[in-house]
Structure 1
Amino acid sequence: MAKIKTKFVCQECGYETAKWLGKCPSCGEWNSFVEEIEAKANDAKSQRGISKGKIEKIQDISTAKQKRYSTGSREMDRVLGGGIVKSSLVLVGGDPGIGKSTLLLQVADYISKQSLKVLYISGEESGEQIKIRADRLNIGDGELYILAETNIDIIKEYVEKEEPDLLILDSIQTIYSPDIVSAPGSVSQVREITAMVMRMTKVRNMASFIVGHVTKSGAIAGPRVLEHMVDTVLYFEGERHFSYRILRSVKNRFGSTNEIGIFEMRDKGLIEVENPSEVFLKGRPVDAYGTVVTAAMEGTRPVLIEIQALVTYSPAGFANRVTTGIDKNRAAMLIAVLEKKAGLAIQSSDTFINVTGGLQLREPAADLAVLCAIASSFKEIPVDFKTILIGEVGLTGEIRGVNSIEKRLMEAQKMGFKRAVIAESNENISKELKDIEIIPVNNIRQVMDLLF
């Protein structure tokens, strides 16, 4: 009897080795190696099958199949780049209980009422459980079909039989192929299942959504190649203690990346938020020190965000730097600039920074607002309630310009702000902003003298 050959595969990045290792040399994760049976070359060929393509001249290729149709939600359509594209494969990731299944069930219900057939395949819940959720959401009158199955061969048979226009797979980590010996959710299974779903999607000219679990670090579980294989990657973000959810596009072959959609979780499901700036500024305290507003660009949309800071004496002898919503290293750099260039001795103070609403700020345009929020808390002097601050701060204390300044200022004017502190390089505004005063600054000392 031939000896079965095995290999050890990292469940985070897919790195393979002949023996077990405590730490993955590729991604650095500990205790991530799992033993899997190594498939023979002939077996691998039989699993993938043989498909023949054809060469076409580029001007002879028709794009008529790349038709979009709406999801029934303007926020979802915005994130997807205008709607669902036929023959596209979309990966949706997020924390457990964040609302991924609820959102996709609402999308499936809307599309099923547009004379399109939707097949919702659940590997985690039974049909009865999905029906209970559908009754709570008051949906389920269209061409929506439910299948509780985890075997990809059976799923393929039903897809060939039903020929749906939209396929939803919830979740990819629960589906398995009997031709692969490793357990469901392993690197081999996830990679092969995604490849099979992708082939079905492209050949049958249908759209597919697959749900992916995330790791403790927030990345989608499974091999990194999973995100490279799909057309669009969406992350569903939000704090469980907040009712607001953020759907963010991090990869999109049919639209812009870093686009976001804002939803509010209610008893009847996820409701889209039409004015995010109003939501994020709701409940903002008047004339309180340590709070500043900035305008962040999320994709093509400007959103006004409140940034709060609290600076207090540290009795422990070393200062804590705690941030929520912004990068901790970026905050430490801004604190150092504030100490060196503005003369504020906060090195022995604990500093806490928070972005309200659970939004994650990833652009440097919020630097000036973060810096001024810290200074406001340290000096205990409030920043004017109707003043907005926009700008990037360099290590020498200079204020640098940011992109899309006109869109940001138009949003601030719409929300009733009267003053805007921006970089001098951004002061040449082509649009007329009659109701807001533009104050250009060059360095943080000018800002300190102006506000404090």
Structure 2
Amino acid sequence: MRAKTIFYCTECGNETPKWVGKCPACGSWNTMVEQPQEAKKKGSPVAQGISVRGSSVSRPKSLAEVETTDELRFPTGLSELDRVLGGGAVQGSLVLVGGAPGIGKSTLMLQICDNLCRFSKVLYVSGEESERQIKLRAERLGVRSESLYLLAETSLENILESVHELKPDVLIVDSIQTMYDEEQTTSPGSVGQVKCCTMSLMQLAKGEGITVFVIGHVNKEGSIAGPKVLEHMVDCVLYFEGEPHMSYRILRAAKNRFGATNEIGVFEMADSGLVEVPNPSETLLAGRPKDTPGTCVTCVMEGNRPVLAEIQALLAPTSFGNPRRTSNGFDYNRAMLLLAVLEKRGGLIVSSCDAYMNVIGGLYLDEPAADLAAIISIASSFRDKPVPGELTAIGEVGLTGELRSVSALGQRLSEVRRLGFKRCLIPAQNSMKLVEPEGLQLVRVRNIREALSAVL
């Protein structure tokens, strides 16, 4: 008799009895995968209504009976990781760390073990490497603690048994796609296996108060491989990003129940592991060319941290009917909008040129405060005139060419002044209440025409 199958959506986890091209729940196309249907066990704790944390049935509590105490946080040993987590790891939380292959996820997790083992017991479970391989990498990273326990295992049942025997304070699982539950008939890495294993780890974290770090692979679109419901189950989702040809890595939070989701941590991959970059602005601007057209510096806010970024643009005449447009690190649609505004309101005929934009250092600028710097870099390349090296530009550009106010302008200007810049273009609308920082000249402009006249 042929086993019954069911179709899962890899984006939202919705189940359908037959294959459909478009998921009826989330509307995503070509995301349905076929998996064998699991028969519900009548004697399972979930079917009987028994809490998986104990043998008794969960009872509802009134709001007054629930105790509210501050969550217990502890440092991980890496200040950049603590910043992204919201001030440190929370006891009993489930953290999912995702990233491309070879980006440094396992290295990051193994490095924090050196500090965590000073006051806690850590169990590192790997389904991809042997215990000898992990120790060789730990010695290279300088991790030599007796409170770190290694386990090369892929069976979820054996992992949970080891956790109950060892009773660690922190559990690291590398990776969730290699773990499998013997009660599931599907292969490891499938939608059902990933969902089941994550659910068991979540119950372990909440029931036993163990902090669990889970490493997850990403697919070709850059999201966590497996069902989208995986990100809804965990407390924190961290993405480890970076260009393959560059040594810098950026850790950002896509979801965080215990902190902000717009903080970033910057690391540099060295021979001895990941090195924190406490001053990313100075690092990202290192090697900036002088007296070269097509480059301008702006200041963006990554959480509560102001970061200076260099935007480069290159315009070249083309003989083809459709000019080429390429954007790296800057939103493509936003870049096309700025090119249209520059031609219509700025008077520069850029429609006959190929346009290329790039943000140095692997950053991705998604806030409108970088619009003015992008406009200036494009105009500088078009006119082949360099922007003064001591100048920065901050402001949002509207469709009529006007400059709009931006948030946290005072913090941005302080960071600009700290790195030695002398002039800064800012919108005239929100500059009246600002106190001009000592040694920094504020150039107030109302539209892009005034900005181009003041710079080029």
Q: Specify if TM > 0.5.
A: yes
2:82 corresponds to: 77
Deviation track 1:73-119 (CA, whole Å, cap 9, x = no partner) reads 111111111101101111111100000000000012210122x0001
| 1:96 to 2:78 alignment | no
Identity %: 51
Contact kept? 1:123, 1:148, Cα under 8 Å: yes
* Separation (CA, whole Å) in 1 of partners of 2:397 and 2:104: 37
Residues 48/341 of structure 1: CA separation in 2 closer, same or farther (3 Å cut): farther
Tell me which residue corresponds to 1:299: 303
**Of 328-337 and 180-189, the range deviating more from structure 2:** 180-189
Determine the structure 1 residue equivalent to 2:240. Answer: 236
Following superposition, the deviation at residue 42 of structure 1 comes to 2.9
Deviation at 1:41, TM superposition (A): 3.0
Unaligned runs of 5+ in 2: 52-56
| Equivalent in the alignment of 1:354 | 358
| Partner of residue 449, structure 1 | 453
Q: Deviations over 1:30-67 (max 9, x none)?
A: 3x543322122336945677203344444554444721
Residue 37 (structure 1) aligned with residue 42 (structure 2): no
Q: Secondary structure at the match of 2:212?
A: strand
Equivalent residues of 2:41, 2:47 under 8 A apart: no
CA distance in 1, matches of 2:22, 2:206: 38
- SS of aligned partner of 1:371: helix
What is the total number of aligned residue pairs between the two structures? 449
Q: What CA distance in whole angstroms lies between the structure 2 residues aligned with 1:348 and 1:201?
A: 58
The counterpart of 2:216, out of the listed 201, 204, 212, is 212
Does 2:286 correspond to 1:287?
A: no
> What whole-Å deviation, never above 9, does each CA across 1:216-256 have from its counterpart, x for those lacking one?
11111111111111111111010111110000012111111
Contact 1:109/1:142 (8 A) holds in 2: no
Q: Kindly tell me: are residues 321 and 8 of structure 1, through their superposed partners in 2, closer, same or farther at Cα, counting changes over 3 Å?
A: same
Deviations 1:345-390 (A, max 9, x none): 1101100000000111111110111111000000011111111100
Other structure's SS at 2:144 match: coil
> How do residues 24-63 of structure 1 correspond to structure 2 at under 5 angstroms?
26-30=26-30, 32-42=31-41, 45-46=44-45, 50-51=50-51, 52-58=57-63, 60-63=65-68
Q: Secondary structure at the match of 1:185?
A: coil
Other structure's SS at 1:433 match: coil
> In structure 2, what is the Cα distance between the partners aligned to 1:21 and 1:225?
19
Q: 2: distance between equivalents of 1:157 and 1:36?
A: 27
Change (3 A) 1:265 1:429: farther
CA distance, structure 1, for counterparts of residue 343 and residue 322 of structure 2: 16
For the residue of structure 2 that corresponds to 1:388, the secondary structure is strand
Task: Decide whether the 8 Å contact of 1:294 with 1:388 is kept in 2.
Answer: yes
Judged with a 3 Å threshold, the aligned counterparts in structure 2 of structure 1 residues 420 and 84 are, in CA distance, closer, same or farther, namely same
Q: Distance in 1 between matches of 2:6 and 2:16?
A: 6
AA matched with 2:102: G
**What is the letter of the counterpart of residue 268 of structure 2?**
E
Which residue of the partner structure matches residue 179 of structure 2?
175
User: Partners of 1:47 and 1:131 in 2: how far apart?
Assistant: 39
Alignment of 1:153-164 (within 5 A): 153-164=157-168
* Distance across 1 between alignment mates of 2:339 and 2:33: 43
Secondary structure of residue in 2 paired with 1:41: coil
Contact 1:184/1:190, CA 8 A, preserved across alignment? yes
Matched, 1:123 2:122: no
Aligned partner of 1:420 among 406, 417, 424: 424
Offset of residue 265 of structure 1: 0.3
2 CA distance for matches of 1:340 and 1:267?
50
> Residues 53-452 of structure 1: matches in 2 within 5 Å?
53-58=58-63, 60-64=65-69, 66-114=71-119, 116-431=120-435, 433-452=437-456
Alpha-carbon offset, residue 425 of structure 1 = 2.2
TM-score by length of 1: 0.95
Contact 1:113–1:142 (8 Å) recurs in 2: no
Kept in 1, the 8 Å contact 2:127–2:153? The answer is yes
Counterparts of 1:44 and 1:418, CA distance in 2:
73
Tell me which amino acid in the other structure corresponds to 1:250: A
Measure the CA separation in 1 of the matches of 2:332 and 2:149: 46
Offset at residue 140 of structure 1 (A): 2.4
